[in-house]
Structure 1
């Protein structure tokens, strides 16, 4: 059966498989799995299916090799840390990722449109800090990640998709801004950026060896996070990251901007941005020290400098994950309609960037990005 609702997942087809299994003692047990499969459309092949490395192979490697390495690093210092579901390998040439269904263990997804409160945000930021710390220490021990793991979308294979998501969406963003008062300066900045956004994102993605670098999740938003609650009290116990298809080695700014512009409740998204960065930073330093990181520890100022330097990533978040998180569930939300040059695709993209919820997000986030210089074409 379908594993996600429309608008929760664009990149792959997600299925939930439920099995009734007869055990050796003749009793039965229900088990369930989540399976990701590729779309078969022309739009998918044009933007995602021509990559040199299959995104399904990349994600399986992440689950079965690198996540296990991160967990072992923590195990070696006496801390048990889990990042996501168990992954299984099948003897088949088909493209797939097969995962444990986390729901029977008590994990739940949350309303991406409403956003989450500070407690949930700090849980995710702690998990990101643990992930980032382990990914940096792993480089010390085993060297840099292979390119198909470290590049994400930021290479020639992903350039077309990045262009579709950024420069390709400018007309829709500008059309919406033309109906809104008070955002004229932001609109002018975006007009000046048009045609060069993809290039600027790829420039920002070049790894600066002088910075503190990690393996970013790169798609950290509420549709890719599940939360575990205590059954009796409803207390939040843990958060897991899912979907490791777009990991990118580089500045922590990529994950922080992406998550903090898409997932907190709107009323705390901007006015607590620096507070959340500080909470993340404290956890990052704590876990780097725990894992005996030998290089220079980044300062909080280093992190903020990188957030300013990589501000263009904020525009990528606005065009993509922030728009998706604000959209009401609709059957027209699909990979094909996001990217294909059809009347149906145009209608969906118009809805995606013109609905009232997205306008509320733009009204708050765009001036903030403009005031930080993130949209300057210099």
Structure 2
């Protein structure tokens, strides 16, 4: 990334207060470099930079330090869809790391279990939207290959971590109290309606065009066509909190590009899963996270064949950790979880027409936030590309019949 494309305020000196807090014998910064932190197509909602610093200590020794810095896009599309939200996603993520992640970790440490949910978070003294995070690479934590999808071992590891997160978040409500309104709304609030509409009904025609090429599509195509124009209102119902259900704080954006895994640095054995990117958290039914992850991120041969097996593994881990944390409310049954997955099945459709497109997209420089939403020839060309890739079509071809057989393409609401 060239210096000319960096924000003018991004200078070495703004990191000095963080470095002084982290290194008591900090003297000065010798070198500063900022590079793109993700590949095209791996991140959309924010600009991710890797910050590399060489610092000098008071004893004249030097140390190499790196951080991950998330910034807002400087574009009309971002301002129109996310930039005007009263619930600023950067403030929300920083609060997630500094408040709720710490509360969840303490819940586990109080019962003798060390559970990590993400990187350390810092704040720069600048008047710009940002989140500064520890670079986990030094701990043997790294992302997987997005296009390969997750194998069974990685899926099970992630589902355990998701269950630990959900369990702690539910216990938090029972012991400390409810979450603030911004976490009850997430992206289902009034400010997000335009974005949600574009991500649902706005993508329907692309989904239909691709599905019409599949052998056997006649089985579900009438339902697909009947959904157009009504998807948004049904998707918004997924965000309504039913107090009679088991509810937890959903990660909200749990797909392969927002997951990292820790490996033994000698044997490369998988040790742990990490959730990253806490900008879209939303309290409510756990089907939101389960459908989002299970439809978007496992390998093709696992996605449908292991669906119920993965749900059972998640459930077992959820109950184990709810009991460990002395949850005082009624424990959900496995049928309760499956009931949510059926009731909110439209979220599986939204995932298939949303983040699953990105999970299977070959790297391209046209993979930008603007091209997802802009009504331009370039935006139309990119959205067409999202839905027409060979790998995506292989996934969609098995996902649509699966969702159809579960009733997810039958809408409960139809506006006039």
User: Residue 377 of structure 1: CA displacement?
Assistant: 2.2
For residue 151 of structure 1, give the secondary structure of its aligned residue in structure 2.
helix
Are the aligned partners of 1:126 and 1:283 in contact in 2 as well (CA < 8 Å)? yes
Separation in 2 of the partners of 1:352 and 1:190?
18
User: Residue 91 of structure 1: CA displacement?
Assistant: 2.0
Are the aligned partners of 2:211 and 2:397 in contact in 1 as well (CA < 8 Å)? no
Q: Please show how residues 262-277 of structure 1 align to structure 2 within 5 Å.
A: 262-277=296-311
User: Residue 255 of structure 1: CA displacement?
Assistant: 0.6
User: Residue 150 of structure 1: CA displacement?
Assistant: 2.6
Separation in 2 of the partners of 1:159 and 1:113?
30
Q: Deviations over 1:55-101 (max 9, x none)?
A: 10011011111111100100111111000010001222211000001
Are the aligned partners of 2:253 and 2:277 in contact in 1 as well (CA < 8 Å)? yes
Q: Specify which of 332, 339, 348 is matched with residue 298 of structure 1.
A: 332
User: Residue 327 of structure 1: CA displacement?
Assistant: 0.6
Which residue of 2 is the match for residue 363 of structure 1? Answer: 397
Separation in 1 of the partners of 2:72 and 2:370?
12
Q: Given the alignment of the two structures, is residue 73 of structure 1 paired with residue 110 of structure 2, yes or no?
A: no
Are the aligned partners of 1:253 and 1:310 in contact in 2 as well (CA < 8 Å)? yes
Separation in 2 of the partners of 1:8 and 1:184?
33
Are the aligned partners of 1:22 and 1:28 in contact in 2 as well (CA < 8 Å)? yes
Separation in 1 of the partners of 2:60 and 2:381?
54
User: Residue 356 of structure 1: CA displacement?
Assistant: 1.2
Q: Specify which of 75, 78, 89 is matched with residue 123 of structure 2.
A: 89
Are the aligned partners of 1:163 and 1:198 in contact in 2 as well (CA < 8 Å)? yes
For residue 26 of structure 1, give the secondary structure of its aligned residue in structure 2.
coil
Could you tell me the TM-score, scaled by structure 2's length? 0.90
Separation in 2 of the partners of 1:84 and 1:257?
22
Separation in 2 of the partners of 1:319 and 1:41?
24
Separation in 2 of the partners of 1:253 and 1:351?
28
Q: Specify which of 118, 122, 125 is matched with residue 152 of structure 2.
A: 118
For residue 153 of structure 1, give the secondary structure of its aligned residue in structure 2.
helix
Could you tell me the TM-score, scaled by structure 1's length? 0.98
Q: Deviations over 1:115-173 (max 9, x none)?
A: 11111111000100000000000001121111112311111111111111110001111
User: Relative to structure 2, which stretch is displaced further, 142-151 or 8-17?
Assistant: 142-151
Separation in 2 of the partners of 1:187 and 1:14?
39
Q: Specify which of 18, 38, 56 is matched with residue 72 of structure 2.
A: 38
Q: Deviations over 1:264-296 (max 9, x none)?
A: 111011011000000000000000000000011
Q: Deviations over 1:179-207 (max 9, x none)?
A: 22211232221211111111111112110
Q: Find runs of 4+ consecutive structure 1 residues off by over 6 angstroms.
A: none
Equivalenced residue count is 378
Q: Please show how residues 1-378 of structure 1 align to structure 2 within 5 Å.
A: 1-378=35-412
Separation in 1 of the partners of 2:68 and 2:361?
24
Separation in 2 of the partners of 1:144 and 1:137?
10
Separation in 2 of the partners of 1:294 and 1:377?
35
**Pairwise CA RMSD:** 0.9
Q: Which runs of 5+ in 1 are unaligned?
A: none
Separation in 2 of the partners of 1:205 and 1:273?
23
Separation in 2 of the partners of 1:95 and 1:377?
38
- Structure scoring higher RCO (CA < 8 A, sep ≥ 6) equals 1
Are the aligned partners of 1:177 and 1:184 in contact in 2 as well (CA < 8 Å)? no
User: Residue 27 of structure 1: CA displacement?
Assistant: 0.9
For residue 32 of structure 1, give the secondary structure of its aligned residue in structure 2.
strand
